[in-house]
Amino acid sequence: MQTYDMPLPERCVMPGITVVGSGSFAPGEPVPNKALMRVMDTNDEWIRRRTGIEQRHFAGEGQGASDLALEAAKRAIDSAGLTPADIDYIIFCTMTPDYLFPGSGGLLGAKLGIHGVPALDIRQQCAAMPFAFQVADGLCMSGAAQNILVVGAEAHAGFMPWDDWDVVLGKKDGDIPADVHERATRHRGLAVIFGDGAGALVMRRTETEGHGLIGSELHTDGDLYDKIYIEGGGFRRRPYWNDDMFSQELHIPSMDGRDLFRHAVTKLPEVVRSLCDKHGVSLDDIDFFLPHQANDRINQHVAKSLKIPPEKVASNIAKYGNTSGATIPILFDEVYREGKVKRGDLLCFIALGAGLHWGASLMRL
Ligand code: UT7
Displacement of CA 3 from its chain's centroid (Å)? 23
Average pLDDT of the chain? 95
CA dihedral 323, 278, 121, 101 (to 10 degrees): -80
* 258 C-alpha to ligand 1 centroid (Å): 7
Tell me how far CA of residue 59 lies from CA of 79, 334, 354, in angstroms: 24, 20, 21
* 80 C-alpha to ligand 1 centroid (Å): 40
**Is 235 exposed, middle or buried (CB count within 10 Å of its CB: 0-12, 13-18, 19+)?**
exposed
- Domain topology for 10-27+63-155+196-364: Peroxisomal Thiolase; Chain A, domain 1 (3.40.47)
Consecutive H or E run containing 198 = strand 197-205
The verdict on the CB of residue 192 being under 6 Å from ligand 1 is yes
Displacement of CA 124 from its chain's centroid (Å)? 9
Amino acid symbol at 144: A
Asked whether the beta carbons of 356 and 224 are under 8 A apart, the reply is yes
* 257 C-alpha to ligand 1 centroid (Å): 6
Ligand 1 pocket test: which of 258, 265, 268, 323 has the largest number of ligand atoms within 8 Å of its C-beta? 258
Mind telling me the catalytic residues?
126, 292, 322
> Measuring from atom 23 of ligand 1, which residue has the nearest CA?
258
The verdict on the CB of residue 213 being under 6 Å from ligand 1 is no
The verdict on the CB of residue 216 being under 6 Å from ligand 1 is no
Per-residue pLDDT tens over the stretch 267-310: 999 999 999 999 999 999 999 999 999 999 999 999 999 999 99
- Claim: this prediction has a pTM higher than 0.85: yes
Per-residue pLDDT tens over the stretch 26-64: 999 999 999 999 999 999 999 999 999 999 999 999 999
The verdict on the CB of residue 50 being under 6 Å from ligand 1 is yes
